[in-house]
Structure 1
């Protein structure tokens, strides 16, 4: 980091930039400091949970150790890191125009090839991580950052303020993060984990931060009418230089660099250059090499023309055919006499990176082979984009990258339909690929148009699926509540009648009409309600009235006093659930006959000499009933029916029958023993997670649509929203452990591919 004016002058000549900060900037510094403090506090709270979850899912002990080390160090150094970042930003304000952020001061493009070889590899990895975060922020919040830069520059007209020197620029904030992370006492793996966490968690929260910073200056009267940043000047990225400087760079350092970095080429090559640096660390002889004496050479323009010709030929591939990019390039990089043609160093790096990118995509087990074949046809068009625009690797929001991500994400749950059945998703993806192959030359706007159209298609499809899934969730939750209510009602009746001698007609009343009433009470008000307690007391009195035990001298009098209220309450209860009035009258008559029989038996039955205390529920006043009159529900047999969910023709289904709900809720899941590790993995499954399950040699892809707490069931649906499987936790963990269920990664495929490329290049260098 470069610092100017470290010597304090006592001659009265105070550094103007330090002590003449405009009041509006002072206000921005103080307000943004408080905002950034809140943002960082939220980050550290979320980081702890994220690291714990990553450690829990770690694939190796080495990864798990790195996560736990990062978690421990963040907890210990949290306050110090926040202070360090805030001081770094404050210093950028106080030394505005002179302060140089680390990332801008030491870009990879500022070093030549010889000095680059001396850069510590771990330092290079950290620079890549910080550079990615800077570019992500600039791409995501371009307009807000640019507005803020213009307003801050307006306040200091006498200073030539570069974009990276704006005190709240991504370079400043990320430089503060990098400096704070540099002091962490952990190895490079754990440190990179922390930086990736900043990339993952912090970037999403800074949009409001930049909006608030602009609002602060607007409230101070700084350019309040400016709604859009002025056109013309493009915001500089970390390490940005002019095209001429780029041509002179020793890092590009190859004959032929001019054709890649000539006039009109993008100036921001930070991430591409860093990828190139990793590429050459892993392999000192890039594919294609430089032009050797006596061998032919093909420049970028001629290469692009040949690629366009090959692009039109790829339309003739057979269904399911996938030709790797390197094989497609072999005839392109040959002259008419069959000799190999060499490309420039930068073009060679681009070819290698795009080839590795598609190697990852075409080997990714998350994608169905049919979808791999469709996406594989875009290799040549994507290569043309990357050759003409190095920002393809830098910009997370690049339309081509976003389109690739959307295509792969939409296909994750796709399964092939039967012959002759319509497949709207496949047809849409095919139309996107065909339009690219037929219409794309160098017009990247075509990808923007296709992205917008495809996103609209997926939004409509997503809304349709969400409605279907919601209906399914409602049906499953209704069924779970019904099962819970049935369990509570049946359990109460069995508990109170188990040791009693109940006549058949009264037993029928208890097991049918009265059980339905008990279920209704549970569904309506729950087992903790006063109404449920009153229903329980009434059930106890009803059972006691037909089999009073033990019989004492006072039993007959107690029955005579209690029976009228019991019968009256019973009739009212059945009326509340709209029970058939004729069946109710018949049940009451059967109950009265049972009471007559009880009185006849009491005449001959010997009584206990000493009467025990009366039942507590007979001595206590009846609980007060709710004032409101309950609305009668539909008959219990018809209420809470399962909502039918449409299944698209040809969608595979899997019938997985779990334990009976009553057993699932009461008894432990006593099936095949499963290790705690797999039980924890099953428990950590989140709604929306995709899996692939295997049944009878058939693979089915589905996602977790709901977890029903009442029954402990995991409900899985296909991409049409139709239910295909349900599991209890034990069953789910057992199948995961047995390899019958595997998790699918629904992360952005381009980002995963880039991470894989960096990891592979890093590993090859270590080897």
Structure 2
């Protein structure tokens, strides 16, 4: 064919490309998508790092172990100090990856979740950092896929149109989860920090970024729709390939604002990868594996028999759960019925080693592995008392069934079954054997567990019903506990006020009697009787009250009245002052119940003190002017005061003491505290307001940041342990009040004494993180170590 003939040939592919974009230019639109994504990702990352600084600092404060605390502090410092470097690097890596893809026609990053090849990983197991980074990237990718499934469907269809690709694979999407994850991991590689510290930022990324990325995808979809790129996507079009296990059919795929209908198997997928990697490694070392076990030969069932197989396994599990062993044991399932009932043995391990595991499909066998590891942790968890742990252990088969039915059990914190387990474990932390098994919390939990065993087949809603009933019970129990805690707080606050009042009175008296020479009778009176009077006044009226100021003024006038009167004006002033002074002294002594004889003896001696004060100050020429008759007049005045009626309330009104400021108590009971109320108090050994001046070390900082509701385990002198919850902190920060779960036993302690207990190991905070969160975190760590 001649060259001129080629000029008459129309390239239909070019025509199709132009038609697909509906007249819009593809490159500018691709650049729009790149710029929108890069700008928003940098913005989201900066906000995420700000949150990470605060959250990692809080985690560091909660951590008792020095290694974990240092790790969290390093992560906080990295997020704070390298914020600009991370966001800039993230944006740069994303743009470079995008441009490279557009130029070469394919996405080329160092690694991606879609290329997470177990066989390749086995060859590089010695490089643990690379393994950690690969797993982190897989986790990021799965999280974004799980959150943004619907938005990604539209994104990939529309970008495929712009890139002239009929079916754009997730790994080839230049703004897809793999591209974003790889860009963030590459940005972290540029930092001079350990992999473990960087993985803390990956954890923060997975927590805060997917929802923001979902919004970004919605914006890009909307922009492309407005530019005429696939305004409508045909209902029922399905995505092929990718990291997500399943993509749904959408009524309006890619439309902005709607929620994805896909389950997010992100965490489960990561656990699968780790379990498979571990099992593959064991197989390579010659460790035998069960048929049906992940990684075992012949473990995968044909797809057309998977549903029948799964139904059969579920039916068998339901029979075991409900105690129907007769037919099941005849099917080759060799289990000890006693193990299923006691809840103290990991029966899932028994099921795995029985004949039942051989008929499980690949995914079910993988799920069995993961849930067995979950209960390994639960049954070893020292936070939960053994008796309560046994009750939770009876739920092993129901939880396995839940996980087989719904993989979001692992990643969805609000999942009914997961929430129920978390609530059970949280309530059990403070349970004590003394409460007994015949009533209270133990009996309620036993009842709820038995109902699940009897009723649960394949409807997860039964867990939601049990959760509602448990929450109702715990709320009623908390109301009763709060009432008792309120009474304990009143006792503690009263004792603390008494102690502060005593110290205030002591300081006021000491400062005065040490500054001048006074008669012994006056010194003794002020140090004992009047100090008691001052303490009582401070308790009832406070430091800023008129009654307190008048009591101090009376003390000052008494001291002035017994010092030498060297000028006539002072002597005249004394005569005018005495009637009211003596009256106040009389009333004050009556308020603290000084006996009549003791009072009369004091006033008789006080008369002599006044006479001595006058005589010692008289000049020689004035001695004759001051006769004994004047002293007798003073004595008569004293008798008049002694006979005057006493009305202490006029001087020191006694308003009712305010109720303690308990945030967790809505209304403190007005009932009197019973005489036999069980309130144990560690004696106050330091001044309450000085107790806040804690030593500047980890233990002091830990005590200063304790929050209400924190559970602490105390080691007793005999080596036994007890658990108490911080229920209240006094307004003056002088005392911490701890109670048991029911509020029926209370312990008060000063901050300094509590710090000493933490420092010596006699006190330890009980981790209040949700049970399943702790278990999954532990699983991830152990699986990575095995890998």
Aligned match of 1:688? 709
Q: 2:129 aligns with which of 119, 122, 132?
A: 122
Tell me the distance in 2 between the aligned counterparts of 1:535 and 1:283.
Answer: 85
CA contact (8 A) 1:366 1:744 kept: yes
Q: Which residue of 1 aligns with 2:536?
A: 516
> Residue 106 in 1 paired to residue 112 in 2?
yes
Distance 1:632 1:175 in 2: 78
Q: Does 1:310 align with 2:320?
A: yes
> Are positions 1:181 and 2:185 aligned together?
no
In structure 2, the CA distance between the partners of 1:444 and 1:419, relative to structure 1 (3 Å rule), is closer
1:526-558 CA-partner distances (Å, limit 9, x unpaired): xxxxx699558625532323421xx2522x522
What stretches of structure 1 of length at least 5 have no aligned partner? 1-11, 223-229, 245-263, 335-339, 526-530, 610-629
**Deviation at 1:370?**
1.0
How much does 1:764 deviate?
3.1
Task: Give the match's secondary structure for 1:395.
Answer: coil
- Name the SS for the 1:117 alignment partner: helix
- 1:181 is paired with a residue whose SS is helix
1:291-313 deviation per Cα after TM superposition (whole angstroms, max 9, x unaligned): 99999999433332222221111
Q: Corresponding residue for 2:363?
A: 346
CA distance in 2, matches of 1:570, 1:86: 84
Quickly say closer, same or farther: Cα 1:172–1:677, change in 2 above 3 A.
Answer: same
Residue 190 of structure 1 corresponds to which residue in structure 2?
197
- What residue in structure 2 maps to residue 743 of structure 1? 765
TM-score of the pair, normalised by structure 1: 0.68
Residue 311 (structure 2) pairs with residue 301 (structure 1): yes
Aligned to 1:725: 747
Post-superposition offset of 1:170: 7.9
What is aligned with 1:601?
612
Counterpart of 1:413 in 2: which secondary structure?
coil
Q: Whole-Å Cα distance in 2 between the matches of residues 267 and 682 of structure 1?
A: 40
Structure 1 counterpart of 2:47: 39
What is the count of residue pairs matched by the alignment? 670
Partner of 2:29: 17
Q: Larger helix proportion, structure 1 or 2?
A: 2
Structure 2 equivalent of residue 225 of structure 1: none
Deviations 1:578-603 (A, max 9, x none): 99799999999999877754442234
Quick one: distance in 2 between partners of 1:563 and 1:217?
A: 96
Q: What does residue 419 of structure 2 align with? A: 402
- CA shift at 1:326, angstroms? 4.3
**C-alpha distance 411-606 of structure 1, shift in aligned 2 (>3 A):** same
Please give the alpha-carbon distance, in whole angstroms, between the structure 1 residues aligned to 2:137 and 2:419: 22
Tell me by how many angstroms 1:759 deviates.
1.9
Classify the secondary structure of the residue corresponding to 1:702.
strand
Q: 1:286 to 1:353 in 2, by over 3 A?
A: farther
Tell me what 1:542 maps to. Answer: 557
Residues 116/724 of structure 1: CA separation in 2 closer, same or farther (3 Å cut): same
Task: Say yes or no: does 1:657 pair with 2:669.
Answer: no
Give the CA deviation at 1:283.
2.9
Quick one: distance in 2 between partners of 1:652 and 1:215?
63
Query: Is the alpha carbon distance of 1:737 and 1:605 closer, same or farther for their aligned partners in structure 2, counting shifts above 3 Å?
Result: closer
CA contact 2:142–2:243 (8 Å) conserved in 1: no
Secondary structure of the 1:279 match is: helix
Task: Tell me the equivalent position of 1:500.
Answer: 518
2:409 corresponding residue in structure 1: 392
Structure 1 residues 553 and 190, CA, compared in 2 at 3 Å: closer, same or farther? Answer: same
Instruction: Name the larger-Rg structure.
Output: 2
Q: Work out whether residues 496 and 735 of structure 2, in 8 Å CA contact, stay in contact via their aligned partners in 1.
A: no
Alignment match of 1:447 (pick from 463, 468, 471): 463
Checking the alignment, whether the CA contact within 8 Å between 1:545 and 1:563 is kept in structure 2 is no
RMSD of Structure 2 on Structure 1 (CA)? 6.0
State whether residues 534 and 551 of structure 2, in contact with CA within 8 Å, keep that contact through their aligned partners in structure 1: no
Report the alpha carbon displacement of residue 115 of structure 1 after superposing the two structures with TM. Answer: 3.2
* Superposition deviation, residue 90 in structure 1: 8.5
Provide the rounded CA distance (Å) in 2 between the counterparts of 1:538 and 1:513: 13
TM-score normalised per structure 2: 0.67
Gap change, CA 1:52 and 1:565, over 3 Å in 2: farther
Q: Give the C-alpha shift of residue 364 in structure 1.
A: 0.9
Identify the range of structure 1 (35-44 vs 362-371) with the bigger mean alpha-carbon deviation.
35-44
Contact between 1:326 and 1:355, CA under 8 Å: does it hold in 2? yes
> 2-side partners of 1:342 and 1:605: how far apart?
112
The 8 Å contact of residues 163 and 169 in structure 1, kept in 2 or not, is answered as yes
Going from structure 1 to structure 2, the CA distance change for 1:199 and 1:231 (only over 3 Å counts) comes to same
Moved more, 714-723 or 738-747: 738-747
Shift of 1:183: 2.1
Determine if contact 1:105/1:239 at 8 Å carries over to the other structure: no
The alpha-carbon deviation at position 365 of structure 1 amounts to 0.9
Distance 1:524 1:209 in 2: 58
Q: Alignment partner of 1:443: what SS?
A: coil
Instruction: Verify: 1:270 aligned to 2:275, yes or no.
Output: no
